[in-house]
Amino acid sequence: MSSSASPSVSPSMEDVLPIRGIDGNTGEALPLGPVPGLMEGSDPYRVEVVRWAALDVPSILVEEDLTRMREQYRIPSDVELILPGPNERACFPREGCTALHLNAFVSGLRLPLHPMLRRILRAYSLAPTQVSPNGWSQMVGGMYLWFRHSFGMEMPLHVFQTVYQPRKLPKKKGKEEEAGWYYFYPWGSHKPLVTGCPSSIKQWKESWFWVSGNWQRVVDDPEPDLDVPSVYGIASSLPRCELSSESIEVLRSIYQADTKSRSYSFILNRQRCLVELGLIPSQAEMDQGRRPRPTLAKLAKQRPRILVPGSAEDSSQRRVIEDLSRAGNKETPKVIEVDDTPETEVPLSRKRKARPSGPGATQAAVGGLMNPRSVSGS
C-alpha cells in the first residue's frame, strides 16, 4: 500500500464541466452530433452541461482505514490502495487509478472484480463510485440470488437490464441535484430482488480511495481486455429484452423465496455467499495463498431480442415480472433466523482529515483537480 502526492493542475472550466458527458469506455468527452446506440425517439443532438457533485467531495480517509480494509476484505497484495490527495476528486481519476468507496465493500464488492460486475458498469458507462452502496447491493445480491436459484449459473446482463434501470440519487432538501451518483431501481412496480437495504448510509460519498494494480482481473478471466470506466459519465439507458422461459422460471423462484432469504442482512452479511460466488477466497485458499476463483458458469449463449420501449411487447414483459413479484409476496414466508442488524457502515479511524472550509475552499479544490490525461501516477 502506498500513497502519492497529488500534483497541482488547474484545468479549464471546459475540463471541469464536460459537454454531455464522458464515454465510459474510452474516457473521452462525448462529441456533439449523432450518438450511436441511442434508443428510438432520443434526441441525438441533446447537449447537457454537467457539473459532477463529486467536485465538492474530497476523501476523508486516512492510511489506517486502508490498512484495516485490506485485512477485513481480504484484498490481494498485488492490488494497490492509495490515499487521495486533498485536491483530488473521484470524478477525475489519477492516471492508472480508479476510485472506489468503502461502503461498496459492505454491500458485497470484492477484489478482484467479478466479470459480471465489470459488464454492468461498462454497459451503463458508470465508474464504480457513481453507484451508491444500495446499487452495489442489488448488483452483488442479485448475482448471488440468480446463482442460487439457477443451480450455479451466472446472471446474464440482459436479465439485469430488464429487471433494473439506473436512477439518479434523489435531490436532498436545500441542495442542487446530485449529478453523477446513481442507484438501481426496478423498471416497473415489482420489488427489487434484494430486500431490506439500509435507508441511509452516512459518509459513503466521502469515504473513497484510489485503487490500481491487478484489481480487475480474476483467475482465468474470460474477458481480460474489458476495463470498467474510471472517469464519470452519464448513465446509459438500456432497453428491456425478451426473457426466455428459463429466465422467467429463475425469477419466479427468486420471488417465491421467503423474504428474509432475499434480505440484505442474510445475503451480504454472510461470508459464505461471497465464497460461493468466488468473490473472496475460502480459508483453505487463504492458507495456500491462492487468489479467489469466481464462478464463471454461464447459461447457453443467447441473443436476446431487444424490445422497443413503449411497445405492447415491452409493456407485456414488464407486467410478467410485476406478476411474478406480486405472486411471490403472497407466499407464506418460511421462518429463517438471520441477523437483523447488519453492518451498514464501515467504521472509520477517529483520526480524520481536516476538511477545507471557507468561501474559497471549493474554488481551491476545483483548481487542484487533475486532468486524467495530463497527470503522472507517481
CA distance linking residue 130 with residue 51, whole number of Å = 14
Residue ranges of the alpha helices (H) in the chain?
A: 13-16, 63-72, 103-106, 115-124, 133-149, 157-163, 245-256, 264-268, 271-276, 283-287, 312-329, 361-367
CA distance linking residue 208 with residue 99, whole number of Å = 6
pLDDT in tens, the chain (378 residues): 444 444 333 333 233 333 333 343 444 444 433 333 333 444 444 445 678 999 999 999 999 999 999 998 888 889 999 999 999 999 999 999 999 999 999 898 998 888 889 999 999 999 999 999 999 999 999 988 998 898 888 889 999 999 999 999 887 665 666 789 999 999 877 889 999 888 888 899 999 999 999 998 877 777 777 889 999 999 988 888 889 888 999 999 999 988 888 988 888 766 667 767 766 655 566 556 666 556 555 544 556 677 767 777 777 777 778 777 777 655 444 433 333 334 445 556 655 555 554 444 444 444 444 333 333 333
Q: Domain for residue 232, yes or no?
A: yes
Q: Domain for residue 4, yes or no?
A: no
Q: Domain for residue 295, yes or no?
A: yes
Domain count, the chain: 1
b or e along 216-247 (b: 16 or more beta carbons within 10 Å of the residue's beta carbon)? Answer: bbbeebeeeeebbbbbbbbbbebbbbbbbeeb
Question: What pLDDT is attached to residue 67?
Answer: 95
Distances (CA, A) of 262 to 194, 255, 349: 5, 9, 32
Question: What pLDDT is attached to residue 105?
Answer: 92
Q: Look at phi and psi of residue 171 and say left if phi exceeds 0, alpha if psi is from -120 to 50, else beta.
A: beta
Q: Within 10 A of 341 (CB to CB), how many other CB atoms are there?
A: 8
Question: What pLDDT is attached to residue 334?
Answer: 41
Q: Domain for residue 365, yes or no?
A: no
Q: Which domain covers residue 134, as residue numbers?
A: 51-339
Q: Which amino acid appears at position 279 of this protein?
A: L
CA distance linking residue 246 with residue 22, whole number of Å = 36
Q: Domain for residue 182, yes or no?
A: yes
Extract the C-alpha cell encoding 181.
Answer: 451518483
Kindly give, in sequence order, each residue whose CB lies less than 8 Å from that of residue 226, ignoring residues fewer than 6 positions away.
115, 118, 119, 122
pTM of the entire predicted model: 0.72
Question: What pLDDT is attached to residue 375?
Answer: 33
Q: Domain for residue 294, yes or no?
A: yes
Question: What pLDDT is attached to residue 16?
Answer: 32
Q: Domain for residue 45, yes or no?
A: no
Q: Domain for residue 272, yes or no?
A: yes
Question: What pLDDT is attached to residue 49?
Answer: 62
